Structure 1
Amino acid sequence: MSYKITRKEEARPYEAPGHFKVLPTHLHIPPEVNEGRMVMGLSHFLPGGGCEFGAPPLETIYYVLSGEMTVKTEDGEFVLHEGDSLHSGIGTGKSILNTGVETCKLLVCLLPSADAAPPDQK
């Protein structure tokens, strides 16, 4: 199949290593389209929820749909608010933490390098 439509009720929850107080869901995964490599998901981080510091082998884009998310990198930290996005390269170290008082809805796009295996798709 060369395209796939995912309706909001079809989002599939999964376990995300290193994440806590979050409901991550897959919207799109590589096997669903011809030669696909991109993963797109929607994660709901409760206040105090986040992801431990790591440097994944993935190009990453975070887009904040609602709430806020504090991002820590090797260079410091900053807060992403509704409508903000972050694009980080392969192997870029970072952690994220919802330091706000409401659930943060975060749209997540992941792309491995061309020679890497796609991210876990459970």
Structure 2
Amino acid sequence: MNITRFEGAPEYFPPNHFSMRCVRLQGHEAGPAESLWLGVSTIEQGGYTTSGASPVEKHYVVLEGEVTVITESGEAVLMAFDSCRIAPGERRALHNRSSNPAKILLAMPFLHPEHSG
């Protein structure tokens, strides 16, 4: 068993993420994992990501607050415990347009098995 306490989760710095604090809960520098890694991003008021795509799918779950997810097919506001899947190659941007911080959980498979941490 590998336990990561939220207050001790290692921070990481993905490109094109602004006014956000990103930590890993499992996988990569947070410990061993075979198929996916988990992270939580705290998005400050006005925080966002630019539009980008990944070669693997992403799953998001809003833990607190509200997050606007924008894709080429439109946008949706996700509230606490709402979730969405972003398909491989689908461009997405995240925005916190609310007046409060938001927290969002990310679950994402590894690009290659050798990157399982």
Same fold per TM (> 0.5)? yes
* TM-score (normalizing by structure 1): 0.84
Counterpart for residue 12 of structure 1:
10
RMSD: 2.1
**Percent of paired sites with the same residue:** 32
**Unmatched 5+ stretches in structure 1:** none
The SS at the match of 2:24 is strand
- Give how far 1:88 is off: 1.6
Q: Any unmatched runs of 5+ in structure 2?
A: none
Shift of 1:17: 0.8
| Alignment check: 8 A CA contact 1:90 1:112 kept | no
2:62 corresponds to: 64
Q: Deviations over 1:7-54 (max 9, x none)?
A: 2222111111110000000111147336x1311011100011111101
Distance 2:3 2:28 in 1: 13
**2:94 paired residue among 79, 96, 100:** 96
Which amino acid is 2:5 matched to?
A: R
Cα distance per residue 1:54-79 (max 9 Å; x no partner): 11112111101111011111111111
Change in 2 beyond 3 A, CA 1:79/1:118: farther
Give the TM-score taking structure 2 as reference length. 0.87
Count of paired positions: 116
The ranges of structure 1 where at least 4 consecutive aligned residues each deviate by more than 2 angstroms after the TM superposition are: 30-34, 115-119
